[in-house]
Structure 1
Amino acid sequence: MDIRGMTSIKKIFSERGSGGRKRNHAMWFLPLLFAAAALILYLLPAAELSDKNISIRTLEVPEFPIIVVLEQDRGTITSAWLRTPAGARRLDQLDGLSFISSDPVISKVDQDSKNDLLWRLSFTNLEGDGVHLWIGMTTWAPRVFIASTPFQYTRWHALPAKVEVPKGTSIYIAPAAPFYKMLDKQYSGKDSYSFIYTIMLTPEGPAFVPVPSVYKQLAVLLKAGMHGETSPKKRLAYVRMLTEFNRLAEGKAPQADTLLNFPLEKLDTLTWKR
């Protein structure tokens, strides 16, 4: 018998045995490693998500193929999009704000018999400042108009009176009264009346279109509200606004001060084929 051969065989088996023991130790170690990794992956996201309350909110008007999608963290918007047949459009203006209200207005603007849409969505922050998002949609040659105006609470918002508006008309309360000549400032905020604009959808998008019946009502309300005003300059601003309300109630064109005070910003126009 070849002793050297036996020695080599023993060596082989001894090596295989030690290798098997190593593999056995590894087999015991791997489940522990996977369990530890799983625990870490489980705990870390939980720690992050415990500080967040992310939710998705969608806003839409039946009959119209457009959707506003809001990603919110405890009610505060972190991301906003407008989805349309022409694609999606990011709405950066809404970041950091909270949704307040939705006010859709239906009218017929273009050449077909289908309804067209003027949609006002309102957003604000904790300080009471925010944005009105205006979305208009026409259906004959499909278009979506996107515009914005600043939002701020004024004395009008605390008024219990209700203004009747004709179909297709939306009311916009501007943050301030116009900057009239002979005055050293614009009056704005919760302690002041501001100018009010009647907004309608036109073939070119949302626009200021004076509606005499509305301004007749506003003139009555402003005349009653300004009686207790003790500041001479603020009262002068109200007198100028009242004069303009009366002019618009008679169907006359708005004056330059009124137009310069209208803060509508056109953001985008999206189109697609029917």
Structure 2
Amino acid sequence: MDNENIKNIPAFAGGKKLGMLFLPLMLAAAAFILIAAPAEEGSDKNVSLRTFEVPGFPMILVLEQEAGTINSAWLRTPAGARGLERLEGLSFISENAILSKVDQDSKDDLLWNLSFMNFEGSGTHLWIGMTTQSPHVFVTSAPFQYTRWHALPAKIEVPKGTSIYIAPAAPFYKLLEKQYGGTESYSFIYTIMMTPEGPAFVPVPSVYGQLSVLLRAGMHGETSPNKRMAYVKMLTEFNRLAEGKAPQADTLLNFPMEKIETLSWKK
């Protein structure tokens, strides 16, 4: 849930979704320009303190913003407040809260994904996970960058408790001269779930079956032999994961999620 305590502050609209809709890049970029446009000089309407929370979970993400750009950010929990310097200079895009049961009590546990971007079209995905039996909050992040997937008008159906992460690039496969990523390339997609140890890559076969179909269609017409080879290798891995097989080393090495901090407290 998103709250603002100063009126007339521009903000991105965020919302929960069960599937993943790949939004066209031009629409997202246009929205970002509108949001981040500075207010008139001397106006105080471009300064805000914005908060995000998920009902039922005792933590609040606080953003101090100016003209839609984050000056400072911190996460408040019963274990105290922690600064999130990596969000500085970015703007909020969206949030998605996913509930599941991963520990031994009857309460829902949380996987909370918030996305942030700068003017260049790159940024950060923040995943905040919380387990409730012995309260722990896991804060992780991964880089965000637009790829060809974001311009694809397709929707992926994901099972309950699953989030999707579009990595900035395809794995750096052996025998290839470089790693392919950015707006002109398809990248690897990871399924993220909450676990007792925090947010993690957990392959979901039904999702990779859908991704295999989309990548097979999208790679037709690719004229670069090396890039096509990268797509073939990535397609092979999607098919393996769709069959329930374990991810290969190249896939794991390409996964850029970083654990920032783990917080805990007594009930």
Task: State TM-score, norm by structure 2.
Answer: 0.84
- Does 2:245 correspond to 1:252? yes
* Cα drift, residue 77 of structure 1: 0.1
Question: Which of these residues, 114, 117, 120, is aligned with residue 110 of structure 2?
Answer: 117
CA distance in structure 2 between the aligned counterparts of 1:167 and 1:184, rounded to whole angstroms: 39
* Cα drift, residue 53 of structure 1: 2.3
- Higher RCO (CA < 8 A, seq sep 6+): 2
CA distance in structure 2 between the aligned counterparts of 1:51 and 1:127, rounded to whole angstroms: 26
Which residue is 1:56 aligned to?
A: 49
1:118 is paired with a residue whose SS is: strand
Which residue is 2:259 aligned to?
A: 266
Question: Which of these residues, 214, 218, 221, is aligned with residue 211 of structure 2?
Answer: 218
Which amino acid counterpart does residue 152 of structure 1 have in structure 2? Q
CA distance in structure 2 between the aligned counterparts of 1:250 and 1:168, rounded to whole angstroms: 20
Which residue is 1:94 aligned to?
A: 87
CA distance in structure 2 between the aligned counterparts of 1:192 and 1:225, rounded to whole angstroms: 10
Show the 5 A alignment for 1:1-274. 50=43, 53-274=46-267
2:178 is paired with a residue whose SS is: coil
More helix as a share of residues: 1
| Corresponding residue pairs, total | 228
CA distance in structure 1 between the aligned counterparts of 2:64 and 2:131, rounded to whole angstroms: 27
Which amino acid counterpart does residue 270 of structure 1 have in structure 2? L
CA distance in structure 1 between the aligned counterparts of 2:152 and 2:113, rounded to whole angstroms: 20
1:228 is paired with a residue whose SS is: coil
Displaced runs of 4+ in structure 1, greater than 2 A?
A: 48-53
Task: State TM-score, norm by structure 1.
Answer: 0.81
CA distance in structure 1 between the aligned counterparts of 2:256 and 2:190, rounded to whole angstroms: 10
CA distance in structure 1 between the aligned counterparts of 2:175 and 2:76, rounded to whole angstroms: 47
* Cα drift, residue 51 of structure 1: 7.6
CA distance in structure 2 between the aligned counterparts of 1:238 and 1:51, rounded to whole angstroms: 49
2:102 is paired with a residue whose SS is: coil
Question: Which structure would you say has the larger Rg?
Answer: 1
Which amino acid counterpart does residue 157 of structure 1 have in structure 2? H
Unpaired runs of at least 5, structure 1: 1-47
Unpaired runs of at least 5, structure 2: 1-40
CA distance in structure 2 between the aligned counterparts of 1:214 and 1:251, rounded to whole angstroms: 11
Over the matched positions of the two proteins, sequence identity in percent amounts to 78
* Cα drift, residue 49 of structure 1: 5.1
Which residue is 1:38 aligned to?
A: none
CA RMSD of superposed structures (Å):
1.3
**C-alpha distance after superposition, 1:25-68 (max 9, x if no partner):** xxxxxxxxxxxxxxxxxxxxxxx954882101111111111110
1:180 is paired with a residue whose SS is: coil
* Cα drift, residue 206 of structure 1: 0.6
